[in-house]
Each structure stands twice: as C-alpha cells, then as structure tokens.
Structure 1
Amino acid sequence: MSEPKLKAKLFIHAAIRRCSIQAIPAVVAHKGDDDSGAILVRVLQGGDCCRIYAQVRNVSGQLGWMCATGPQSVSESRAEAYVARARDVDGDLWVLDVESSDGLAPFLEPIFPG
C-alpha cells in the first residue's frame, strides 16, 4: 500500500520554505489546483541548463521524483516547451522553479532512475 500524498499547495509551501532555509531561490511559476494538482519542479542550473522533475510512484507505490527531461540537463527553451506541453494536458499542474547549480533541490527525495 502506498503512503498518502500531501495536498499540492501544502507541499509547494513546504518546498519553498525548505529552499528558503538553505538560501536557495524558489518561486511558483504556475499555480495549480490547491488539493490535487500534479507538481513539476524546474531546476534552473544557470548557463541555460535546466532539469525538470516530476512526482511519480515506483512499482511498490513509494512516492518520489524522476527527472522527466532525461539524465542530462536541457536548455531553458526545451524545458519551457516541456512545461507548456504538460500544462496543455493538465490545467491543474503546479510548476515550481528552483535555482540550484547542482541540479537538485533539498526536497527532491527520493529520486528514481529514469
């Protein structure tokens, strides 16, 4: 059985707070449904490099993250195109932008291999 999922708005506020504590800039780029919106995290690494993480469950039902854009960083324009396509499919989608040179954020755990 899988563990329960936090409401999207609560998760987003907690993620921003966790980033703030570590002096990592994080902002909501797109607000989704407060209760059940899916969440994408766009990690801006600088130098036109990004990674996008999507919240997923593994085969045993454990909630975690997967790099939706693949193992390598992508350009900001490619990341924006991915986000735009995802928003076209899901109007309730949250998008959280995090600036992190190492491509990670303190709340992205566990990360599942793609």
Structure 2
Amino acid sequence: MRVTTDLWVSALVRRVFGAGGFAAIVKRGATEAGAVFVLSRGRLGEVALYGPAPQTSYDSADPDERFFALLDSSDDGSAFDARLEREKKFDPDIWVVEIEAGTIPVEELLLVKAD
C-alpha cells in the first residue's frame, strides 16, 4: 500500500530538518496522490528542480516507491517559478516543497533516477 502524499511530504520535511537543513511546503496539493516537485537550494546559490520521474523509471519489483528526475538546475531560481506555474495549471493538485538539504545530499533524500 502506497503512503499518502501528505505523509510522504511530512516525512521528507522531518528528514531535512533532522539533517540540519530547512524545508518548507510552498504549495500543498492533493492529500492522497498529488505529484511532488522539490526545489533544492544550495548554500552557494545553486537551485535544482526535481519532479516525478517518467513512468518508465519505475521498478515493477517495488511499485510503491516515489522516483524523481532532475528537471533542471541553475544559479537563478526565477525560471523555475514559471515552470511550476505551468505545472499548477496542468495539475492543480501538485505539491511544491523547497529544501536546503543540510548535511545529507538531495540524492539521499529523494530516489533520483538518472536519464
């Protein structure tokens, strides 16, 4: 049984704070099954946007895991605002979580699939 998005996001926020980082829910989406987008801000100003990985990335042996893909990275996060607005228009139930990971790399907080 897959956990709700609300519970999964809460666990992510706790893990980030536990690692000495910061996390905030920018947009709360559908409690049960909203798609999650994560904005990761580094200490030197770099910004990365992670979103749901394509369906081909999912493992049939573990279908309940949430996989993410790096959608884009930049030193200027303003471009991501426009992208997230488009995503919200397409699917108003999305979640947006912004994190500064602290001591744990983002790849350990999210299951990131490479291209």
Measured against the shorter chain, the TM-score band is 0.7 to 0.9
SS for the counterpart of 2:15 is: helix
**Equivalence for 1:16:** 13
Structure 2: state its 5+ residue gaps.
60-65
**Does 2:66 align with 1:36?**
no
**Equivalence for 2:110:** 108
Equivalent of residue 69 in structure 2, options 43, 58, 66: 66
- TM-score w.r.t. the length of structure 1 is 0.80
Are the aligned partners of 1:53 and 1:67 in contact in 2 as well (CA < 8 Å)? yes
Structure 1: state its 5+ residue gaps.
none
Q: Matched residue pairs, number?
A: 108
- 1:41-95 CA-to-partner distances (Å, cap 9, x unmatched) read 01112454311111225536334110012xx435211111111111111100000
| Residues 58/24 of structure 1: CA separation in 2 closer, same or farther (3 Å cut) | same
Quote the sequence identity (%).
19
Q: Which has the higher helix share?
A: 2
**Does 2:76 align with 1:75?**
yes
- TM-score w.r.t. the length of structure 2 is 0.79
**Does 2:94 align with 1:93?**
yes
